[in-house]
């Protein structure tokens, strides 16, 4: 306790000295006062420019859980990028690479073997694939216990259980069995030969020796997982860092994994501090309380551009467009959204070009579909919606919503056309976008009530339990990522599946289900392109969600930090933390 308090006081003192010295620098002052502060700063932090043994990262979200397979949330992925090693991920070049495995299986190297499953009740031509992976021989959990196929089999057991709450349940359904050859090598038997067969990105290992007891009651696993009840347990992590301290809603401090056999991380400690208000986040950066702001869960583009104009010379500011789709999720079980005409009226009543140009200088393009123009699956032929308030009003009237004396539309029963709009509280840009949406829809006679929540609540409880009308947030994907989890009817969260799946809107379309199933197993890129185009055409026609724009991430880094490489996809920069270096 005493050591922690002393460090906090020293940190505050350094932050104060730094802020005063920066003020002197900004005014180019050479006064005796400023010179004295420069000397005091140097004495208080000897070798600070050369050492930088600690790093403090600011984010705007705090994870709802650290369990890698429950509650998909970017803030969690960002933290676990330092502490966990998935078997496979996409890197900054959008290439699939091994992290925990030694070699990617392929048909060419014999580690991937197609299997004919056309027998019994299975249809003719049904093909699966057997995939063999070897865990890196040196891999250990941070308590010194080796990572083995026991962890593989246990993770598979948890993922297969319908009540465990694991997010990508489809992955575990399609893996029919796993054979452990020895402690480090295993073969997955998969019932589909997909075009991305080697990617098992969501199969993130759980430590059997720690989590077995927590899984005694599968229905309670989500809350009894040691990632929830004992998050600083070293045995939960196998990356270059592990969680040393967690203060819920405030910060997570990472410390080196003493049993990590790979290249060491560059810092003795890394603190990820959640400041769920972007104005306060900027103030923390300028005061020296944090060193950098995460690009993945930090400033929005407009905030970064404004910061760049004011302070860009003092920091590195990196902009990275990517596969980040900002949209409005609609709860299609709400009667107001069940009518497709209302959904079309909502998109026609938005001037998304004005939002893009006025807020982001046109650097975040309007989204016509859920697929980014940067992605291989993008189709330029998908229909487009442009701002047309007259047509929007006509559709609402056809749907039975008439303008009454108050200016608000009502149906024949006198019910107002009204709903709640939610997003992550404290995100200035999303809150501003909400106000624009509210204003534009009000002109059509639609009453929109804004009700925001902290990200950990919105993504940990509200969205997966489908307790919302409309939610503004982003989907972040891997390259050519088949949208099963967000559009397939089997991925609707419910009590029966432990609220797993990301189809929180409740979208059901048999043709979309068929296309997704067919797209996954089509090995010909040209044929997949046709399927992608049809999938986007249906999406734009049905509008299960309302597309807004494709986002660019902005990374605010100190001048002394090097090696941070934005990926532009769902896999965060922190997965490559051992490549970060300090400029000396």
Domain containing residue 472: CATH number: 3.10.105.10
Residues 33 and 93 in one domain: no
Q: What is the CA radius of gyration of the chain?
A: 25
Q: What pLDDT is attached to residue 51?
A: 62
Domain end, chosen from 166, 199, 228, is at 228
Cβ neighbors of 223 (< 8 A, separation 6 or more) are none
Residues 115 and 222 in one domain: yes
Q: What pLDDT is attached to residue 496?
A: 85
In a domain, 304, yes or no: no
In contact, 243 and 269? CB cutoff 8 Å: no
In a domain, 218, yes or no: yes
Rounded-to-integer distance, Cα 410 and Cα 415, Å: 5
Rounded-to-integer distance, Cα 174 and Cα 191, Å: 5
Which residues on adjacent β-strands are paired with residue 550?
A: 325
**Nearest in space to 454 (alpha carbons), one of 422, 497, 486:** 422
Q: What pLDDT is attached to residue 449?
A: 97
* pLDDT tens string 236-286: 999 999 999 999 999 999 999 999 999 999 999 999 999 988 889 999 999
Q: What pLDDT is attached to residue 47?
A: 43
Residues 83 and 34 in one domain: no
Residues 13 and 133 in one domain: no
Q: What pLDDT is attached to residue 565?
A: 95
* pLDDT tens string 477-490: 899 999 999 999 99
Residues 96 and 147 in one domain: yes
What is the crossing angle of helices 389-398 and 340-348, to 10°? 160
Residues 376 and 495 in one domain: yes
In a domain, 258, yes or no: no
Cβ neighbors of 260 (< 8 A, separation 6 or more) are 140, 142, 239, 240, 241
3-class secondary structure, 562: strand
Q: How many structural domains are present in the chain?
A: 3
Residues 170 and 37 in one domain: no
In a domain, 532, yes or no: yes
Which residues of the chain have a pLDDT value below 70? 1-51, 119-125
In a domain, 286, yes or no: no
* Residues spanned by the domain of 7: 1-46
In a domain, 281, yes or no: no
**Nearest in space to 193 (alpha carbons), one of 484, 522, 491, 526:** 522
In a domain, 458, yes or no: yes
Tokens of 68: 């890698």
In a domain, 55, yes or no: no
329 sits in which H/E element:
strand 315-330
Residues 422 and 325 in one domain: yes
Residues 400 and 538 in one domain: yes
367-376 core/surface letters (b: 16 or more CB in 10 A; e: else): bbbbbbeebe
Residues 80 and 24 in one domain: no
Q: What pLDDT is attached to residue 122?
A: 55
Q: What pLDDT is attached to residue 247?
A: 95
pTM for the full model?
Answer: 0.81
Rounded-to-integer distance, Cα 253 and Cα 245, Å: 5
In contact, 55 and 292? CB cutoff 8 Å: yes
**Nearest in space to 277 (alpha carbons), one of 424, 422, 427:** 427
Domain containing residue 154: CATH number: 3.90.76.10
Domain end, chosen from 228, 255, 288, is at 228
Residues 3 and 78 in one domain: no
Domain end, chosen from 183, 200, 228, is at 228
Q: What pLDDT is attached to residue 393?
A: 97
Q: What pLDDT is attached to residue 498?
A: 82
Cβ neighbors of 13 (< 8 A, separation 6 or more) are 44
Residues 427 and 497 in one domain: yes
């Amino acid at each position: 306790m005493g050591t922690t308090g002393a460090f906090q006081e020293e940190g505050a003192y350094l932050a104060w000295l730094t802020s005063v010295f920066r003020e002197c620098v900004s005014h180019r002052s050479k006064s005796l006062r400023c010179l004295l502060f420069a000397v005091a700063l140097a004495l208080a932090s000897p070798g600070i420019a050369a050492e930088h043994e600690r790093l403090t990262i600011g984010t705007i979200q705090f994870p709802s859980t650290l369990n890698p397979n429950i509650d998909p949330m970017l803030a969690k992925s960002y933290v676990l990028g330092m502490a966990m090693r998935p078997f496979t991920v996409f890197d900054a070049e959008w290439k699939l690479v091994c992290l925990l495995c030694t070699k990617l299986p392929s048909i060419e190297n014999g580690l991937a073997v197609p299997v004919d499953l056309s027998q019994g009740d299975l249809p003719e031509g049904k093909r699966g694939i057997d995939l063999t992976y070897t865990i890196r021989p040196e891999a250990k959990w941070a308590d010194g216990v080796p990572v083995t196929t026991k962890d593989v089999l246990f993770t598979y057991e948890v993922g297969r259980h319908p009540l465990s709450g694991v997010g990508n349940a489809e992955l575990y359904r399609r893996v029919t069995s796993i054979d452990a050859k020895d402690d480090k090598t295993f073969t997955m038997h998969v019932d589909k030969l997909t075009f991305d067969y080697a990617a098992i990105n969501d199969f993130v290992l759980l430590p059997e020796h720690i989590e077995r007891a927590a899984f005694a009651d599968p229905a309670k696993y989500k809350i009894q997982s040691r990632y929830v009840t004992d998050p600083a347990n070293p045995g939960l992590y196998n990356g270059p860092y592990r969680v040393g301290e967690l203060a819920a809603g405030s910060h997570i401090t990472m410390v080196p994994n003493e049993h990590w056999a790979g290249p060491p991380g560059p810092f003795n400690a890394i603190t990820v501090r959640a400041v769920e208000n972007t104005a306060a986040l900027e103030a923390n950066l300028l005061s020296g309380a944090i060193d950098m702001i995460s690009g993945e869960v930090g400033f929005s583009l407009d905030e970064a551009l404004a910061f760049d104009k004011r302070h860009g010379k003092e920091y590195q500011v990196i902009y990275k467009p990517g596969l980040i789709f900002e949209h409005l999720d609609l709860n299609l079980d709400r009667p107001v959204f069940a009518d497709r005409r209302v959904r079309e009226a909502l998109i026609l009543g938005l001037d998304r070009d004005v939002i893009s140009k006025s807020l982001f200088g046109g650097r975040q393009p309007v989204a016509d579909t859920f697929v980014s123009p940067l992605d291989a699956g993008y189709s330029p032929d998908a229909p487009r919606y442009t701002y047309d308030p007259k047509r929007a009003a006509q559709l609402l009237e056809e749907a039975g919503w008439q303008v009454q004396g108050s200016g608000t539309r009502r149906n024949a029963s006198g019910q107002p056309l009204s709903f709640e709009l939610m997003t992550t509280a404290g995100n200035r840009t999303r809150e501003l976008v909400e106000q624009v949406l509210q204003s534009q829809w009000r002109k059509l006679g639609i009453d929109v009530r804004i009700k925001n929540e902290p990200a950990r609540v919105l993504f940990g409880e509200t969205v997966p339990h489908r307790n919302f009308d409309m939610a503004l947030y982003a989907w972040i994907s891997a390259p050519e990522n088949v949208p099963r989890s967000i559009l397939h009817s089997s991925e609707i969260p419910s009590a029966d599946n432990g609220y797993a799946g990301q189809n929180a809107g409740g979208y059901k379309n048999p043709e979309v289900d068929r296309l997704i199933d067919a797209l996954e197993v089509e090995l010909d890129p040209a044929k997949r392109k046709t399927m992608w185009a049809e999938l986007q055409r249906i999406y734009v026609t049905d509008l299960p969600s309302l597309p807004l724009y494709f986002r660019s991430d902005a990374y605010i880094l100190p001048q002394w930090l090097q090696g941070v490489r934005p990926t532009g996809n769902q896999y965060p920069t922190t997965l490559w933390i051992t490549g970060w270096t300090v400029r000396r």
